[in-house]
């Protein structure tokens, strides 16, 4: 009798957890279906080519123009420039924390870097808007401090914690025998880090970088506040731009429900979704493909 009850409880628990697990996947699936259902109708009005490569975004004009090319370029350039700033900083901080810092220092610095990730994006955006933008204007005599460079800098702040903490875990998990072997062969600590530790943890670092970038490309509040929001193809990194999430956030609230503009914004969401999906697939691919298995494979 008791055995039966225990079996029953076991079964119930198992199905309960199954339901919870499938629920989150199902919700994700439904959001995706919804996204496509609300976005695809725009392609009855405008061809995919004109939507993706059209240079003018005037969704409420008469006749409207639905070209998101400047928005795509803005997203890519903001993410790219922020990667240039965040990757060296993030990875080097990780190397320092995992390899060079004393345990005490690491114990203080690592939580602090991770605390950066806890800063709400609206706070970072506000900082960029009221502190960094006037500073850039005054120092570099730019017409406006709300531009691609400022947005990239703020996004770099946001992706550094992700890049740093995942990279640090990857570097930390490189087997000690590798380091010891390298040092025993007469390599210096510098050579060991560059030639042995980093190559051994490259898959983890790449994953970190890509996850950091996918956070940057999807980030909304910061780019809405500091990127300037001009829907044009930037001529320099000090020009204002309007990345896709900023456009969606600024316009969605008042776009007529199920109107062309509404569909166009959802279609922009689809493009954004494909970008982040692409990033995540790459991250997954790299972490599987180049996984360091044991010590023998190096």
Partner 1 sequence: MKIRNLVIAGVAAVMMLAGGVAGAEDLVIKGSTTVLPIAQEVAEAYMKENPNVNISISGGGSGNGIKAIIDGTTDIGNSSRFIKGKEVKLALEKGAYPVPFRVAYDAIIPVVHPSNSLNDLTLEQLKAIYEGKTKNWKEIGGPDKTIVVISRDTSSGTYEVWESKVMNKGRVFPGALLQASNGAVAQAVAKNDNAVGYIGLGYINDDVKAVTVGGVVGSKETTLNGTFPISRPLFMFTTGWPEGKTVDFLNYLLHPDKGQKFIEKIGFVPLY
d(CA 179, CA 191): 10
Among 129, 153, 171, 213, binds partner 1 (CB under 8 A): 129
Among 42, 46, 57, 206, binds partner 1 (CB under 8 A): 57
Among 60, 173, 188, 288, binds partner 1 (CB under 8 A): 60
- Binding span for partner 1 by CB under 8 A among 20-28, 210-218, 229-237, 275-283: 229-237
Segment interacting with partner 1 (CB under 8 A) among 75-83, 129-137, 149-157, 189-197: 129-137
Q: What are phi and psi of 189, to 5 degrees?
A: -65, -40
Any contact of residue 145 with partner 1 (CB under 8 A)?
yes
Token pair recorded at residue 105 = 């220092």
Asked if residue 50 binds partner 1 (CB under 8 A), the reply is no
Calculate ∠ Cα 284-271-264, nearest 5°: 160
**Listed residue (252, 240, 248) closest to 272, CA to CA:** 248
Task: Quote the CA–CA distance of 247 and 193 in Å, as a whole number.
Answer: 43
* Beta-strand runs (E) in 7-140: 57-58, 65-66
143 binds partner 1 (CB under 8 A): yes
Token pair in block for residue 144: 């406006």
CA dihedral 163, 166, 172, 178 (to 10 degrees): -80
Yes or no: say if 212 and 84 are a contact pair by the CB < 8 Å rule. Answer: no
* Distance between CA atoms of residues 192 and 187, nearest Å: 6
The nearer residue to partner 1, 117 or 250, going by C-beta atoms, is: 250
Residues 160-219 that bind partner 1 (CB under 8 A): none
Determine the interface stretch with partner 1 among 19-27, 182-190, 224-232, 290-298 (rule: CB under 8 A). 224-232
- How many residues touch partner 1 under the rule CB under 8 A: the total is 36
Cis amide prior to 103 (ω within 30 degrees): no
Of 146, 122, 151, 123, which Cα lies nearest the Cα of 216? 151
Under the binding rule (CB under 8 A), the answer on residue 71 touching partner 1 is no
In degrees to the nearest 10, what's the CA dihedral of 169, 213, 266, 226? Answer: 120
Binding residue for partner 1, selected from 18, 34, 53, 58, defined by CB under 8 A: 58
Interaction of residue 236 with partner 1, rule CB under 8 A: no
Residue 61 touching partner 1 (CB under 8 A): yes
Q: What is the number of helices (H) and of strands (E) in the chain?
A: 14, 2
Which of 161, 204, 229, 245: binder of partner 1 (CB under 8 A)? 229
Q: Is 21 helix (H, G, I), strand (E, B) or coil?
A: helix
* Stretch in the footprint of partner 1 (CB under 8 A) among 33-41, 46-54, 225-233, 272-280: 225-233
Given the complex with partner 1, which of 224 and 283 has the nearer CB atom?
224
By the rule CB under 8 A, 73 interacts with partner 1: no
Query: Scanning residues 243 to 262, which ones bind partner 1 (CB under 8 A)?
Result: 246, 249-251, 253-257, 259, 261
The residues of the shown chain that bind partner 1, judged by CB under 8 A, are 56-61, 70, 129-130, 133-134, 137, 143-146, 224-225, 228-232, 240, 242, 246, 249-251, 253-257, 259, 261
């Amino acid at each position: 009798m008791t055995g039966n009850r225990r079996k029953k409880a076991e079964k119930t628990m198992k199905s309960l957890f199954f339901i919870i697990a499938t629920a989150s996947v199902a919700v994700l699936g439904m959001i995706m279906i919804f996204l496509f259902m609300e976005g695809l109708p725009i392609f009855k009005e405008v061809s995919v080519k004109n939507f993706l490569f059209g240079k003018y975004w005037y969704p409420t004009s008469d006749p409207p123009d639905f070209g998101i090319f400047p928005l795509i370029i803005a997203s890519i350039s903001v993410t790219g420039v922020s990667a240039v700033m965040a990757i060296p900083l993030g990875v080097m901080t990780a190397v320092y924390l995992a390899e060079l810092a004393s345990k005490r220092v690491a114990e203080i610095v690592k939580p602090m870097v991770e605390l950066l990730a806890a800063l709400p994006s609206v706070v970072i955006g506000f900082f960029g808007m009221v502190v960094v933008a006037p500073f850039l204007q005054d120092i570099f005599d730019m017409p406006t401090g709300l531009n691609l460079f400022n947005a990239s800098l703020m996004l770099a702040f946001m992706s550094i914690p992700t890049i740093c903490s995942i990279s640090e875990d990857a570097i930390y998990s490189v087997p000690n025998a590798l380091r010891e072997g390298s040092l025993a062969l007469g390599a210096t600590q510098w050579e060991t880090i560059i030639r042995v530790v980093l190559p051994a943890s490259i898959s983890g670092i790449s994953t970190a970088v890509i996850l950091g970038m996918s956070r940057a490309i999807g980030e909304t509040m910061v780019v809405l506040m500091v990127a300037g929001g001009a829907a044009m193809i930037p001529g320099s990194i000090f020009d204002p731009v309007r990345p896709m999430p900023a456009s969606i956030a600024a316009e969605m609230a008042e776009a007529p429900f199920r109107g062309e503009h509404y569909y166009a914004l959802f279609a922009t969401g689809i493009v954004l979704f494909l970008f982040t999906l692409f990033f995540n697939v790459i991250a997954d691919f790299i972490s599987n493909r180049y996984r360091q298995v044991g010590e023998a494979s190096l």
